[in-house]
Amino acid sequence: MPGREGLVTINVVVGAAIISGGRLLAAQRAEPAALAGGWEFPGGKVDPGETDEDALVRECHEELGVKVALAERIGGDWPLVLGGVLRVWTAAVVEGEARALEHLALRWLGPDELYDVAWLPADLPIVEAVRPHLGG
């Protein structure tokens, strides 16, 4: 097809800022080794043919065993260290209770506890952007 030579595929990762009762859900990575132990927003890669939103709902179900409803997008494209972008939405659990199915641990953080965990570098700047959504 003409003109396709200049197209660049952007690696898109989606994350959920799951909020309940004024607290934010943080998930501790189990793998890969370079990221293990760091804290992140749950989510993952967008599969070919999948919308960002559908990917995020799927990832939350796979990683946490919950169904989420997405609300507001936080910022634009947040750059990732190894290339690509992270796109984050606020979300609420509408079915189930979050469990660490693919993570080492989960933690609900109140506004005064947001920095009590070691956020991964890509997620860290987003934490402050999420704070106003916690209320209080």
Domains by residue range for the chain, with CATH: 11-130 (3.90.79.10)
pTM of this structure = 0.91
Q: How confident is the model at residue 135 (pLDDT cuts 50, 70, 90)?
A: confident
Q: What is the pLDDT of residues 118-132, one digit of tens each?
A: 999 999 999 999 999
Residue 39 confidence (pLDDT) above 60: yes
Residue 15 near residue 56 (C-beta atoms within 8 A): yes
3-class SS of residue 86 = strand
Residue 2 confidence (pLDDT) above 70: no
- H/E run at residue 116: none
Give the number of residues written for the chain. 136
Residues 96-101: contacts with CB within 8 Å, 24+ apart?
96/64, 96/65, 96/66, 96/67, 97/65, 97/66, 98/18, 98/25, 98/64, 98/65, 98/66, 99/64, 99/65, 99/66, 100/27, 100/28, 100/64, 101/62, 101/63, 101/64, 101/65
Please return the burial class of 107, using the count of CB atoms within 10 Å of its CB with bins 0-12, 13-18 and 19+. middle
Q: What is the pLDDT of residues 53-105, one digit of tens each?
A: 999 999 999 999 999 999 999 999 999 977 899 999 999 999 999 999 999 99
On average, the pLDDT of the chain sits at 93
Q: What is the pLDDT of residues 17-38, one digit of tens each?
A: 999 999 999 999 999 998 899 9
Q: What is the 3-state secondary structure (H, E, C) of 57-79?
A: HHHHHHHHCCEEEEEEEEEEEEE
